[in-house]
Structure 1
Amino acid sequence: MFDNLPRGTIPIEDIEMGMTRSLQKQITDRDIELFAEVSTDRNPVHLDDDYAQETIFEGRIAHGMLTAGLISAVIGEQLPGHGTVYMGQTLKFLAPVRPGDVVHAEVRVVEIDVAKRRVTLDCHCSVDGRKVLVGEARVLAPSRKFD
């Protein structure tokens, strides 16, 4: 049955404490524009250079939830992967992400409940080795045993 699971999926039976997965993505102006369009969050701190220059950030920044979305990508594509269901996520934003920044998003398994198929993941995003986002996700992992 394991062969029927999508590529990139790690079933609950194979998840181990400390297991990590990550991705890197450069945040572009187009990413920010698309996120603004999809989310309808058109705060000028994300879209207007002149406006953003006058804020505490002294320039445009990416939406925090765009950065957080990279955590979702690691969880949904790698650990546990396809078939994973989000149950909850905490987030703390530590620093802004700017257009052109390369974000490294990483998740690490910190708790496993095989019987309930629940996994808790420590999550963070960093830019140039500096954490910009930290949090914890709770997910329902896919299983080899289909109900």
Structure 2
Amino acid sequence: MLTTLHKQLLNNYQQDFPLSPTPYLDIAEQLGVSEAEVLTAFQALSEQQMISRIGPVIAPNSIGCSALVAMAVPDYDLEWVAEVISAYPEVNHNYERENRFNLWFVLVADHEQQLQAVIADIEAKTGYQAMLLPMLADYFINLGFELNLHD
């Protein structure tokens, strides 16, 4: 269940997370709660799988290299393969699409060799082939969403 604090954290800090040595304290002061309450709320959101990480979004290929990857995975293996992929720190998100290539993810690595090594490892662990899709043009899609703060 989402509390008012959870909703405030999700709404207010999807894109405007404080860049300071004490970001959680800054958030606490802005919301009129303690830093411990903020940390506890973020931990609860993580445990409930409402958030997977707190971190920056960096433009593709500005640091290291990245790739969009698609896989064709039978429905009976989809959840398991998605969990395997999500376990890699180089993967910043994956999602299901209605298509023969039904599992898509973005992979970010320090260099091309690391990217290829992660893809090879994913293919070996899952038994499914990955299709790398090179970026031809850069588009920014705002993935933020507004929560209804009223119950």
TM-score normalized by structure 1?
0.22
Name which structure has the greater RCO, CA cutoff 8 Å, separation 6+.
1
Larger Rg: 2
